[in-house]
Structure 1
Amino acid sequence: MHLISAGKLKQVASKYPDVTKTIKAFCQTIKKAQWKNLIELQQVYREAEAVGNFTVLNLKGNKYRLILDIDYEEQVAYFKYFLTHAEYDKEKWKNDPYFK
């Protein structure tokens, strides 16, 4: 699977040094992944969930949220947001024009 804007994800997450290894591991995992649906993704990231048309991953024991727009058919994941739990709960990310 190809992650669009991996560089931007790493840049945004770099503000939080405790998650650097997790983000690096995620980027390596997604490169090798060929997930066909959310259920297959959940075999690796158990707490991943669909919220609208986005996919939300909980990282570092729910401390952070990684929000992606995944096209399983095209094998492309678009980085949308990397947020702390508190930022995620404010739900401003749901104002994204692509969020349905």
Structure 2
Amino acid sequence: MRVISKKRITNFYAIYDDSKNALETWYKIIMKSKYNSFHELRITFPGVDRIKNLFIFNICGNKYRLIAAIHFNTQILFLRYIFNP
């Protein structure tokens, strides 16, 4: 799956350095994988939630959240936000 844009990840962990390993691991898993549905995504990421067309991933044991839009048909993930709730 293609991720747009990794720069948001690197910008985030430049500020919150404790998130770097978790975000890099998440990124590598997403890049190597091909998901055709939300159900398949939940097999790898059981804590992911879906609200309409957005997917919320828990990062660092729910310390941070990553919100993305995923187009399963084109295998593109648009990273919208990463934040500290």
CA distance in 1, matches of 2:79, 2:66: 8
How far is 1:52 from its partner? 2.0
For this pair of structures, how many residues does the alignment match?
Answer: 85
| Structure 2 counterpart of 1:40 | 40
Q: What residue identity is the alignment partner of 1:58?
A: N
* Pair member with larger Rg: 1
CA distance in 1, matches of 2:63, 2:20: 13
CA distance in 2, matches of 1:14, 1:46: 27
The unaligned stretches of length 5 or more in structure 2 are: none
How far is 1:8 from its partner? 2.1
Higher relative CO (Cα under 8 Å, sequence separation at least 6) belongs to 2
| Structure 1 counterpart of 2:29 | 29
| Structure 1 counterpart of 2:60 | 60
TM-score (normalised: structure 2): 0.93
TM-score (normalised: structure 1): 0.80
1:21-48 per-residue CA deviation (whole Å, 9 max, x = no partner) reads: 0111111111111011111111111110
CA distance in 2, matches of 1:60, 1:71: 25
| Structure 2 counterpart of 1:83 | 83
| Structure 1 counterpart of 2:74 | 74
Cα RMSD between the aligned structures? 1.0
Q: Which moved more, 1:54-63 or 1:7-16?
A: 7-16
CA distance in 1, matches of 2:52, 2:36: 18
